[in-house]
Structure 1
Amino acid sequence: MKNHNKFSSVLLLFAGICSIMAVSLTSLEDIATAIRNNDAKQLASYFDTMVEVKIMDKEGAYSKAQAEQIVKDFFAKNPVKNFVIKHDGPSGGNQAHYAIGALTSGATKYRTYIYMKKKGDTFIIQELSIENE
């Protein structure tokens, strides 16, 4: 009986970790797709109510609507040709996730950094940075 309880506990833990990873990977792929499609509105749907943004000369804590406008302006001036996530993983346990990506616009390359925290069953963007490589 003890072995059955241990097995059940391990199985439950594994299922929980897999579900957390699946949620973060789904959110992350949706975020990457929004960036590839120059879709500021879709990207902003993953923003928290306040977002730390660093995009070119704009840096600070912005409301969701302000951050969306900053991203929209960036996409208008720098249409995304390609976006690839280079690294991602958990940060500080399973309650946060980060992603580092490479964004190409014309001949210019940018390094992106996205930091997300878990709220409910989804990950919400808390920080977004797009800088020249």
Structure 2
Amino acid sequence: MKKLLIVLMVLLGGIISAFALAARSEEMLVAGPFEDVVGAIKQGDVNSLSRYLDNNVEINISGKANAYSKAQAEIILKDFFSKNQVKSFELVHQGGEASKFGIGNLSTSGGNYRLSFFLQKKGGSMVLNELRFENK
């Protein structure tokens, strides 16, 4: 009887562990806005990035800051990434709950930048409302 109880406990523990691992793996497969933005930056993909742009976006490139409409922001970002082909982007810090931010090192053909971006919850979705490209 004792052996049967031990076997049942081990099997139950294994099943619970398998379900927990499967749930966590599924959670990791589902990318959210933050992960999508990081992926778009790594690719220099403005079209993917623009899906998350807010109606008004603050962009700061090497100390030149301004607030732009979504359409203007797309043009500014396309210009930046066409002149600065992305070599790599390494996310070094991230945080936030309702709002999220990321800070990373962007290496491009035109130089290296410290890139920070901010996502804010707005109407049930996350929008990108600030991008900063600071020369390193």
Q: Provide the TM-score with structure 2 as the length reference.
A: 0.72
| RMSD, matched Cα | 2.0
1:131 aligns with 2:134: yes
Q: Deviations over 1:75-96 (max 9, x none)?
A: 1101001011110001xxx321
Deviates more, 1:37-46 or 1:100-109: 100-109
Unaligned runs of 5+ in 2: 1-27
Q: Choose the corresponding residue for 1:111, options 111, 114, 128.
A: 114
1:67 aligns with 2:70: no
How many angstroms does 1:33 deviate by? 1.1
Unaligned runs of 5+ in 1: 1-21
Instruction: Return the alpha-carbon distance in structure 2 between the equivalents of residues 52 and 26 of structure 1.
Output: 22
Instruction: Return the alpha-carbon distance in structure 1 between the equivalents of residues 105 and 99 of structure 2.
Output: 21
Q: Deviations over 1:97-117 (max 9, x none)?
A: 111011001372100110111
Instruction: Return the alpha-carbon distance in structure 2 between the equivalents of residues 96 and 46 of structure 1.
Output: 13
- Tell me what 1:83 maps to: 89
| Count of aligned pairs | 108
- Tell me what 1:36 maps to: 42
Deviates more, 1:71-80 or 1:35-44: 35-44
Q: Deviations over 1:9-67 (max 9, x none)?
A: xxxxxxxxxxxxx8xx7211111111121211211111100001102364211001101
- Tell me what 1:7 maps to: none
Deviates more, 1:103-112 or 1:70-79: 103-112
Instruction: Return the alpha-carbon distance in structure 2 between the equivalents of residues 76 and 110 of structure 1.
Output: 15
1:32, 1:84 within 8 Å by CA — same for their partners in 2? Answer: no
Whose relative contact order is higher, 1 or 2, with alpha carbons under 8 Å and at least 6 apart? 1
- Tell me what 2:125 maps to: 122
Larger Rg: 1 or 2?
2
- Tell me what 1:95 maps to: 98
**3-state SS in 2 of match to 1:81:** strand
Identity over aligned pairs, percent = 41
Q: Provide the TM-score with structure 1 as the length reference.
A: 0.73
